[in-house]
Amino acid sequence: MAASMLKTQCFIFYLTIITLFSTLAVSDHRSNSDVFGKDISPSSLGLKREKLSHLHFYFHDIVSGKNATAIHVAGTSSNNSSLPLFGDIYMIDDPLTINPDINSKTVGKAQGMYAYSSQTEMSLLMVLNFAFTEGKYNGSTLSVLARNEVLNTLREMPIVGGTGSFRFARGYAQARTHSITLVHAIVEYNVFVFHY
Ligand SMILES: *[C@@H]1O[C@H](CO)[C@@H](O)[C@H](O)[C@H]1NC(C)=O
Ligand SMILES: *[C@@H]1O[C@H](CO)[C@@H](O)[C@H](O)[C@H]1NC(C)=O
Ligand SMILES: *[C@@H]1O[C@H](CO)[C@@H](O)[C@H](O)[C@H]1NC(C)=O
Ligand SMILES: *[C@@H]1O[C@H](CO)[C@@H](O)[C@H](O)[C@H]1NC(C)=O
């Protein structure tokens, strides 16, 4: 009787030890430096309430001359056509101003590129960042990855992310051509973004 109770106690002790060790093994594994992803709370990044912001500015794209802000870097039309064609790629560093006048206050730059991405329409692939330099958005960026059918009155482009004030940004930009010549296009942008 006593022997069998001792046996049972030994068995329970054994089970406890096994359970304890396997638990330790699991928790040890989870805290190991070889774990590269884990759940955290938004508050640990200081994230509070999500905000919706509206930005309004004018985008200046100057494709030739002394003050060019867009440079043809690849594609077929460089060898001699005034009109860009499918495959043409322009690198841009376009000023963003508060008013249509290029000499009005600059709020940032649109830096990146656009490419003529349709064989049948005037449609661009836009891959760029709005890099803001004014006010509370100074140093923050918004990233655009979009199709831009430039002859349409109103174009809509997704905002796919951001940095600084615009961490976790998502939203859209609406573009309307304000004026256009062969050299200088002025485009009005209204940007709506959720961010923290
Ligand atoms: C280039 O920009 C300067 C400063 O805004 C301006 O005075 C000049 O007329 C511009 N040149 C051309 C060719 O547009
Ligand atoms: C570029 O040059 C090549 C060779 O001369 C010609 O075949 C082609 O049509 C030209 N492209 C354009 C856009 O003018
Ligand atoms: C385009 O053609 C014109 C006239 O034929 C010529 O003067 C010019 O140098 C050409 N430009 C390029 C980039 O080939
Ligand atoms: C924006 O930030 C940069 C870098 O911190 C600073 O040099 C610049 O003066 C700021 N511009 C404005 C308009 O606040």
CA of 47 to the centre of ligand 1 (A): 44
3-class SS of residue 114: strand
Strand partners, 130: 110, 142
C-alpha to C-alpha distance for 162 and 33, rounded to whole angstroms: 29
In this prediction, residues 137-155 reach a mean pLDDT of: 97
Nearest-atom index, ligand 4, CA of 138: 1
Average pLDDT of the chain is 88
Name the residue among 182, 196, 174 with its Cα closest to residue 59. 174
Judged against a pLDDT cut of 80, whether residue 75 lies above it is answered with yes
**Cβ(9) – ligand 2 distance below 6 Å:** no
78-112 residue pLDDT tens: 555 567 789 999 999 999 999 999 999 999 999 99
C-alpha to C-alpha distance for 119 and 20, rounded to whole angstroms: 67
Type and span of the H or E element at 22 = helix 2-31
Judged against a pLDDT cut of 60, whether residue 14 lies above it is answered with no
CA of 87 to the centre of ligand 2 (A): 13
Contact 175, 160 (CB under 8 A): no
19-58 residue pLDDT tens: 555 554 444 455 567 889 999 999 999 999 999 999 999 9
- What structural domains and CATH numbers belong to the chain? 59-195 (2.40.480.10)
**Cβ(78) – ligand 2 distance below 6 Å:** no
In this prediction, residues 124-131 reach a mean pLDDT of: 98
CA of 79 to the centre of ligand 2 (A): 6
